Structure 1
Amino acid sequence: PRQMLGFVVPDFASQVAQAKLGLIPTRLRVGNLDAQRDFTDVRDVARAYRLLAEKGQPGEEYLICSGQPVSIHYLLTTLLELAGIKADIEYDPARMRPSDTPCLYGSFRKIQQDTGWQPEIHLRQALADALAEWLDHFQANT
């Protein structure tokens, strides 16, 4: 939630919310849906920062992540399911990256060992919250 446009989750959630409300056609413009990334809810990240400030080892590097690769396709289909709509998918060359690593994810083992942190907010909940935020935004501004 609260992430600015230009990133995949708010971009998709914004489009899905507008389509659900009938503000745009149910044709969504997307880039590479095959890429896999590691998504962590900002609320989990904030909690990790707090724990690192309290218990982290100075000078050490920590990964704050879910430890799970998730396809961009999953994000889109889950948002559509949460919104209760179907959409046509339009591949937009402008949304394709010239160099796209197929799969990026990390391990939170070190931060868990040093602070006890692990992600708590499931990705589906984070997506539902992002969608609700965009629905509220467009309903308030139309």
Structure 2
Amino acid sequence: MTKALILGVTGQDGTYLSEFLLKKNYDVFGTFRRTSHKCFERLEEINIFDQVHTIKADLADQGSIQNTIKQSNPDEIYNLAAQSFVGTSFEQPILTSDITGLGTLRVLEAIKQVKDDVKFYQASSSEMFGNYSEMKNEHSPFLPRSPYGVAKVFAHNMVNHYREAYDLFASCGILFNHESPLRGLEFVTRRISYELAQIKFKKKNKIHLGNLRAKRDWGFAGDYVEAMWLMMQQDHPDDYVIATGESHSVEEFLSLATEIAGLGDWHDFVEIDKALLRPTDIEDLVGNSSKASKELGWKPKVNFKQLVKMMVEHDIDYFRHSV
């Protein structure tokens, strides 16, 4: 039985990836950092918590990472652990750099020392790219505009270095924004779907949002974890952009979500909060995943409208049953 170690198993991507790998009869190990029961709520929501071997680990602790690899003895390692919210990275740049950037280096060094024949996947990010309009591919320059983006560039470059210098099987998936009903409430798409459901059931009367003009290439997280796995099945490691090829603004997401929720005009309950605006932001991010399509045979299955509908209906259903 193939064994996989997912660093950061309790997040959105870790949960969907666990589900995907379990269906392929993998033995799944996953790390977590927090000790509260709520930490595992995503795994519990889709009824797979009991099927995942959870290990407490910390990307800030080299010994912890090495022990985790020894304990799980995996064939594949997926590094999804990070301080992953861009907004928080402005408030906590040192923590973000330590976990998201140096944490990846610690994992690479642990692999080199403990199990250098393992296949390694690194979650790179579209936030590594800058504020320029053309579609981004694997050759586009990195010009990050947040501490999170800077940390991800460092991690990405380190993966490339270890691949070339030490012949590790190490691939990076440069994933553009990917959402789902399991997305954290700090992210704007989930905040919109969740708070619209609250408004629908009279639990709230206003939604506070930041930059409605920002455009992102939004896909479904469940589709994107398949791309991660496909990278690990190749004969040689490489880097791939994973995206839908379409960008939509926050306002488009909000308008469609409001329509699906049956709430009329969003202007009636949305207020712009300047505190939610970032010091520097990227206005438009859209990716070209033609390389992944050609070499991995990967294409997104869920389109933008289906994604918004999925998220809104999930949160409405949640509040309907909790009233």
Q: TM-score, normalised by structure 2?
A: 0.42
Q: Secondary structure at the match of 2:291?
A: helix
Distance 2:200 2:214 in 1: 25
1:4-33 CA distances to partner (integer Å, 9 max, x unpaired)?
A: 1111111100111111112111x3211101
Which sections of structure 2, spanning at least 5 residues, go unmatched? 1-180
- Give, as a single letter, the amino acid of the residue that structure 1 aligns with 2:314: E
Query: Which of the numbers 183, 187, 200 marks the counterpart of 1:3?
Result: 183
The alpha-carbon distance between structure 1 residues 8 and 76, as it changes in their structure 2 partners (threshold 3 A), is same
- Give, as a single letter, the amino acid of the residue that structure 1 aligns with 2:242: I
Is the CA contact 1:56–1:115 (under 8 Å) kept in the aligned structure 2? no
> Is 1:43 the equivalent of 2:222?
yes
- Report how far residue 52 of structure 1 moved: 1.9
More moved, 41-50 vs 73-82: 41-50
Distance 1:56 1:85 in 2: 51
- Give, as a single letter, the amino acid of the residue that structure 1 aligns with 2:201: L
How many percent identity over aligned positions? 29
- Give, as a single letter, the amino acid of the residue that structure 1 aligns with 2:316: L
* Superposition map of 1:72-111 within 5 A: 72-86=250-264, 87=266, 88=268, 89-111=270-292
- Give, as a single letter, the amino acid of the residue that structure 1 aligns with 2:202: G
- Report how far residue 56 of structure 1 moved: 6.8
Distance 1:37 1:57 in 2: 30
Is the CA contact 1:36–1:72 (under 8 Å) kept in the aligned structure 2? yes
> Is 1:29 the equivalent of 2:195?
no
Q: Secondary structure at the match of 2:231?
A: helix
Distance 1:14 1:95 in 2: 17
1:35-76 CA distances to partner (integer Å, 9 max, x unpaired)?
A: 111111011102212222223741x11111111111111000
Match of 1:19 in 2: 199
The alpha-carbon distance between structure 1 residues 42 and 127, as it changes in their structure 2 partners (threshold 3 A), is same
- Give, as a single letter, the amino acid of the residue that structure 1 aligns with 2:271: E
Match of 2:247 in 1: 69
Match of 1:55 in 2: 234
Query: Which of the numbers 130, 137, 141 marks the counterpart of 2:311?
Result: 130
Distance 1:92 1:109 in 2: 38
Is the CA contact 1:17–1:134 (under 8 Å) kept in the aligned structure 2? yes
Is the CA contact 1:34–1:73 (under 8 Å) kept in the aligned structure 2? yes
Distance 2:235 2:199 in 1: 44
Match of 2:151 in 1: none
1:58-99 CA distances to partner (integer Å, 9 max, x unpaired)?
A: 1x1111111111111100001000001023221011211111
- Report how far residue 34 of structure 1 moved: 0.5
Q: Which has the larger radius of gyration?
A: 2
User: What is the aligned residue count?
Assistant: 140
Higher relative contact order (CA 8 A, sep 6+): 1
